[in-house]
Amino acid sequence: MSKSTSDPSPVIQKVAEKDISSAVAIAGHPIHAMAVHFPIALAIATLGADVFYWWSADPFWLRAGLWSAGFAFAFGVAAGLVGTAELLIVEGIRSRAASWTHAIAAMMFLSIIGLNWGVRLADPEAVLPLGLALSVLGAVFTGLAGWHGGKLILHHGVGIMVSDDQ
């Protein structure tokens, strides 16, 4: 599927003509869009665990934060690999600057949550204040990368495949 545009620029018109259908999908549903909910939810859960630890000093929240940070990173890397495949395979996706902006925001997010997990693995007590600060930063970058990913789909129409039934 390509997108029509009323933009007078021939460059924009050429970009709009390129295919933007998802290449990594199950029955027309892009896998990346299905996978990103996990790292987003787990990054926010890590922040929640850190706030509860700060508030209660209950070591249960140290363990909860360690596991949620680890799985946020693992699921984030998996989702990022699928997103990278879309970016590199689909011509209309890789020729849009917005796709690369999203990829950069997402890589920043992955670096922050990876560091957040590593810091806890090395020293569980490092949650206050370093882990908590990284969790706040991770939540901010989850928001930035997630909002921008939504913009790719809802604004640019990337990955959308309208079925022939419509």
Which has the closest alpha carbon to 98: 87, 109, 111, 90?
87
Least distance from ligand HEM to the Cβ atom of residue 147, Å = 8
Q: In this structure, what are the phi and psi dihedrals at residue 25, rounded to the nearest 5 degrees?
A: -140, 155
CB of 138 to ligand HEM, least distance (A): 10
Question: With contact defined as beta carbons under 8 Å apart, do 2 and 20 qualify?
Answer: yes
What's the gap between Cα 121 and its chain centre? 23
Is 159 a binding residue for ligand HEM by CB under 6 A? The answer is yes
Residue with tokens 């129409």, as numbered in its chain: 157
C-alpha span between 161 and 142 (Å, rounded): 26
- Within residues 81-140, the interface with ligand HEM by CB under 6 A covers 83-84, 86-87, 93, 99, 102-103, 106-107, 109-110
- Cβ atoms of 72 and 115 within 8 Å: the answer is no
Report the nearest approach of ligand HEM to the CB of residue 57 (Å): 30
CB of 60 to ligand HEM, least distance (A): 27
Our finding on whether 80 is near ligand HEM (CB under 6 A) is yes
Q: Is 45 in the site for ligand HEM (CB under 6 A)?
A: no
Question: How far is residue 64's CA from residue 73's CA, in Å, rounded to a whole number?
Answer: 14
- Interface with ligand HEM (CB under 6 A): 22, 30, 32-33, 36, 39-40, 76, 79-80, 83-84, 86-87, 93, 99, 102-103, 106-107, 109-110, 142, 145-146, 149-150, 152-153, 158-159
